[in-house]
Amino acid sequence: MKVLVPVKRVIDYNVKVRVKADQSGVDLANVKMSMNPFDEIAVEEAVRLKEKGKVTEVVAVSIGPQQASETLRTALAMGADRGLLVKADGPVEPLAVAKILKAIVDAEKPDLVIAGKQAIDDDSNQVGQMLAALLGWGQGTFAHSLELDGASAKIAREIDGGLQTVTVKLPAVMTTDLRLNQPRYASLPNIMKAKKKPIAEKTPADYGVDTAPRLKVLKVSEPPRRGAGVKVASVAELLDRLKDAGVMP
């Protein structure tokens, strides 16, 4: 069984995001970048399946600039077998990403695609669902747990009311949620081994996909600053202030 795992290079989740002065986008100059946290969970799940003997090969794919090869090396150090970089210097919208991944799936013939449920830079939460629709495959999104059983997969999904368990026939697409697993830290020996693992390079044109943006970003702005708090001497004063502010009747 082969598993395909898309990974994205994003601003590290520990970094405070800064908006450009002209509000045209997010400032990426001299900012630490890393793998999207949900994609780390996806790589970890694929590697665990390989360690259990249920998967024979894990292929990591990234769509982005040349620097995204560093993200692929991280996936290889975690246990992926090989990487594929689709070089695209500008922003690639979710539909174009899904179309590129669909072409890669057609070429690689994986039995399962495990993707992060969303990227923390745009929070679109669209690629996994779009990919499943383009492929005509079953899907299990927001996965809390995964069990492979022959030609099917049992996926427990996180929903508002708790957990929903679905069974999908393979091949299928799955997107990961936070509680699926705890990603491992790549050891130094594995980081060194990852440098020797192959990373193929392609372009969107190789897959016949046009990545020209369909959406125009008008403005990017920071949320309004939160106002300073006010200390009160008693509960009665607190209630009076809440009533004056219209929070309480």
The tokens for 64 are 């982005």
- Residues 6 or more apart from 74 whose CB is under 8 A from it? 7, 34, 35, 186, 194
Q: Kindly report which listed range (81-85, 148-152, 204-208) carries the lowest average pLDDT score.
A: 148-152
In a domain, 249, yes or no: no
> pLDDT tier at 63 (50, 70, 90 boundaries)?
very high
Give, in order, the Cα–Cα distances in Å from 60 to each of 70, 115, 198, 224.
12, 10, 11, 38
Q: Kindly report which listed range (63-72, 152-161, 163-172, 215-224) carries the lowest average pLDDT score.
A: 215-224
Q: Give pLDDT, residue 152.
A: 94
Number of domains into which the chain is organized: 1
Give, in order, the Cα–Cα distances in Å from 107 to each of 4, 100, 104, 113.
11, 11, 5, 13
Give, in order, the Cα–Cα distances in Å from 230 to each of 129, 236, 239, 245.
45, 14, 13, 13
Say if residue 34's pLDDT is above 80.
yes
> pLDDT tier at 247 (50, 70, 90 boundaries)?
confident
CA-CA distance, 149 to 54, in Å (whole number)?
9
> CA 75: distance to chain centroid?
13
Cβ atoms of 158 and 141 within 8 Å: the answer is no
Say if residue 1's pLDDT is above 90.
yes
The domain that holds 73 is classified in CATH as: 3.40.50.620
Q: Give pLDDT, residue 24.
A: 86
Q: Give pLDDT, residue 150.
A: 84
Strands 152-159 and 162-169: antiparallel
Residue of 25 and 171 predicted with greater confidence: 171
CA-CA distance, 201 to 69, in Å (whole number)?
9
Q: Give pLDDT, residue 32.
A: 92
CA-based max dimension of the chain: 69
Range of the domain at 118: 2-244
> pLDDT tier at 245 (50, 70, 90 boundaries)?
confident
Say if residue 29's pLDDT is above 90.
no
Q: Average pLDDT, stretch 232-246?
A: 89
pLDDT tens for residues 108-162? 999 999 999 999 998 999 999 999 999 999 999 999 999 998 899 999 999 998 9
The tokens for 79 are 């246990």
Give, in order, the Cα–Cα distances in Å from 154 to each of 7, 132, 169, 207.
23, 17, 9, 32
Say if residue 44's pLDDT is above 80.
yes
Say if residue 248's pLDDT is above 90.
no
In a domain, 77, yes or no: yes
Cβ atoms of 1 and 56 within 8 Å: the answer is yes
- Name the nearest CA neighbour of 105 among 123, 130, 88: 130
Q: Give pLDDT, residue 241.
A: 87
Q: Give pLDDT, residue 217.
A: 87
